[in-house]
Structure 1
Amino acid sequence: MIDETPVLDDHLHLDPDNHRGIAAVKDFARVGGTHLLVVNKPSWHLGVEAETGDDFRSVFERTIEIVEEASSELEGRAWPVLGVHPGLISRLVDDRNFAPEEARDLMMAGIDVAAEYVEAGDALALKSGRPHYEVADDVWKASNEVMRRAFEHGAALDCAVQLHTEASEDLSAVTDWAEDVGLPAHRVVKHYAGGRLEGPTPSVMSEKDRLETAVARGDPFLMETDYIDDPDRPGAVLGPKTVPRRVRWLLESGHDEAVETAHVDTPEQVYDIDTVATLEQNQ
């Protein structure tokens, strides 16, 4: 813990079998990290080539298991975020010869299963989105339909939906879709965000320039690394120690209020989690 403040990484992955897993959690905790939101790795990275929605269950359940292990290493706790990576649509269409509509239906079925775990209290939030790269119009349309299914579940369950999307400073059209089905815009989280964003709550990549922008704006924001825990890409994205180190840097720079925003206020607004109370419970 750093100066008695909770420190939350809003989006990272842990490989339960093939890479660092709990060792990465220990690194995070050793430098002051207290809370994690762990997003399941893309299904095919865990050896699952789904044919039905139920095929995603092993991915979700293995993620829940490693989150339980992670919580035992933290002064606070970890929560699972479950869903279907939007890049799956390209794998299905380009590599497995699915029609875009068939890929959409399979991915929606996976989102439906993820929602079951949220409803049961075994997961905190859903993950969806659309490709961050150029795709054919019919693939784009199908991807947006999958994302809207996630919004429907988020509204029904009163839970947040984390999005993997293209880089943008304005996704208000996307949050309009969410609000159309009853999911408030602040419960839509743009993962891998910059410091400036209209529409969703930004989960800001913890690079200093992005954080400086978010702090200057003064709006609600979260902090993340998108650590991918991939043995084939050991240096990709940011390491698990990054968020605690950036929190320390923000505090040393006099940005106590911004740290409170990112690690206490915004998590409560978006996810209904109390990072302070969960610290106190474990002390």
Structure 2
Amino acid sequence: MESLGMPVLDDHLHLDPGSGQGMDAVEDFAVVGGTHLLVVNKPSWHLGVEAETGDDFHAVFEETIDIVERATERLRGRAWSVLGVHPGLISRLVDERGFSPAEARDLMQAGLDVAAEYVASGEALALKSGRPHYDVSDAVWDASNAVMCHAFELGADLDCAVQLHTEGADDLTEIAEWAEERDLPRERVVKHYASGSLVGPTPSVMCRKEWLETAVGRDVPFLMETDFVDDPDRPGAVMGPKTVPRRVRWLLEEGHDEAMRRAHVETPRDVYGIDTEATLE
């Protein structure tokens, strides 16, 4: 395995050992210097779960926890689980399954309550929530925001971070303020698939070179991710598992040692409470 002389964390990706690359993707990440992973559960319906109650999400979360245990065995560092309810579920519930927006909201909040149990037990590190990144009705939008704010309340109670899937934007200050109103510090709100110029939550920057160049130039906390989806029908999407280590190597060669330490040691510590140095072999 290559070593880049420091921890290398992919902040957001998915693994599917059943139909995707699974542990092969973990080994691809590790062989080029990757050390730590935050593995987010796939959308529930992608795993064949059409939830009727919050308890139905247990199967989704248990599968992710099992994947994380297996991934940790293959890393110089370790992997952690990020569990929650994909915000796109609301459209599936309302448009395809006949739920009202309020009924969908209640089910999704119940799923988050179950995810919170795993955080409380130490089996998961953080929660995932958000709102649709596409146009929806006002009622669905309001219900989605209520689900997201429920995740903030849970995060505050558990003292854990909340990763968000939202619309693309460079200013999500309002969302950060909603979290703070619920006693969750804005730095513990992480915008997944962020550009390098995001303000409000902590950006988890997609590894496009131009976005990373913006992020390292701002001297603010950020993380790095691929959003690898591990879907055999979409090989390499969104970015392949080798991307974060390769971008780290490139940025180190460009002299951005301090920014890389910020992204892979300091920000993970401040956002998630993890020590990526102490958890290296």
**Common fold by TM > 0.5:** yes
Alpha-carbon distance in 1 for matches of 2:235, 2:89: 22
State whether residues 16 and 63 of structure 1, in contact with CA within 8 Å, keep that contact through their aligned partners in structure 2.
no
State whether residues 8 and 36 of structure 1, in contact with CA within 8 Å, keep that contact through their aligned partners in structure 2.
yes
Alignment partner, residue 85 of structure 2: 84
Alpha-carbon distance in 2 for matches of 1:68, 1:55: 22
Alpha-carbon distance in 1 for matches of 2:275, 2:17: 26
Tell me the alpha carbon deviations over residues 170-205 of structure 1, each in whole angstroms, 9 at most, x when there is no partner: 111001110011000000000000001111000000
Letter in 2 for 1:183: L
Alignment partner, residue 175 of structure 1: 176
Tell me the alpha carbon deviations over residues 14-50 of structure 1, each in whole angstroms, 9 at most, x when there is no partner: 0131111111000000110000000000000111000
Aligned length in residues: 280
Alignment partner, residue 140 of structure 1: 141
Alpha-carbon distance in 1 for matches of 2:244, 2:107: 35
SS at match of 2:51: coil
Deviation beyond 6 Å, 4+ runs, structure 1: none
Alpha-carbon distance in 1 for matches of 2:89, 2:71: 26
Letter in 2 for 1:63: T
Alpha-carbon distance in 1 for matches of 2:110, 2:129: 12
Alpha-carbon distance in 2 for matches of 1:54, 1:141: 24
Alignment partner, residue 208 of structure 2: 207
SS at match of 1:275: coil
State whether residues 196 and 213 of structure 2, in contact with CA within 8 Å, keep that contact through their aligned partners in structure 1.
yes
What RMSD in Å do the two structures reach over aligned CA positions? 0.7
Alignment partner, residue 65 of structure 1: 66
Q: Unaligned regions of 5+ residues in structure 2, if any?
A: none
Q: Unaligned regions of 5+ residues in structure 1, if any?
A: none
Tell me the alpha carbon deviations over residues 190-223 of structure 1, each in whole angstroms, 9 at most, x when there is no partner: 0000001111000000110000000111100000
Alpha-carbon distance in 2 for matches of 1:139, 1:255: 43
SS at match of 1:9: strand
Alignment partner, residue 236 of structure 1: 237
Alignment partner, residue 30 of structure 1: 31
State whether residues 4 and 33 of structure 2, in contact with CA within 8 Å, keep that contact through their aligned partners in structure 1.
no
**TM (normalized to structure 2)?**
0.99
